[in-house]
Structure 1
């Protein structure tokens, strides 16, 4: 497997652009998860963000996405 550093991309959450840095493998997994759920990538990120901010000690968004993807894969 080829690994490379994080890639920064801009996504819209509730009409506001935000930058997220994720390794390419996580961007690909996020695209696949969005497609599997029939959602645009921005909508899935917004849903993960909404769940994230409900936590007592919310992690940053990139960490929340990585954990969400890990948990999703674990449940398969």
Structure 2
């Protein structure tokens, strides 16, 4: 596991045929890969799903923030 205090790293993802880059701390990238594997989808598909939920929100945050929030909620569901 990477140090939780490592600065963000930028990775490219594809959402609905559109490439974009997202900056997340390595710890969040690790959790995102784990969540995608457990959900049985590729990381790009999970990011696309989070993006759809984000856009539907009354006050949509940025994509990186939405991913972090989704991951915290996902981890909470895993623990509960």
TM-score range, shorter chain: over 0.9
Number of the residue aligned with 1:7: 9
Aligned to 1:34: 36
Superposed displacement of residue 75, structure 1: 1.4
Tell me the distance in 1 between the aligned counterparts of 2:38 and 2:77: 14
The 5-angstrom pairing of residues 1-76 of structure 1 reads 2=3, 3-76=5-78
Give structure 2 stretches of 5+ with no counterpart.
none
- The TM-score with structure 2 as length reference comes to 0.91
Aligned mates of 1:20, 1:45 — CA distance in 2: 10
| Cα-Cα RMSD | 1.0
Gaps of 5+ in 1: none
Q: TM-score, normalised by structure 1?
A: 0.96
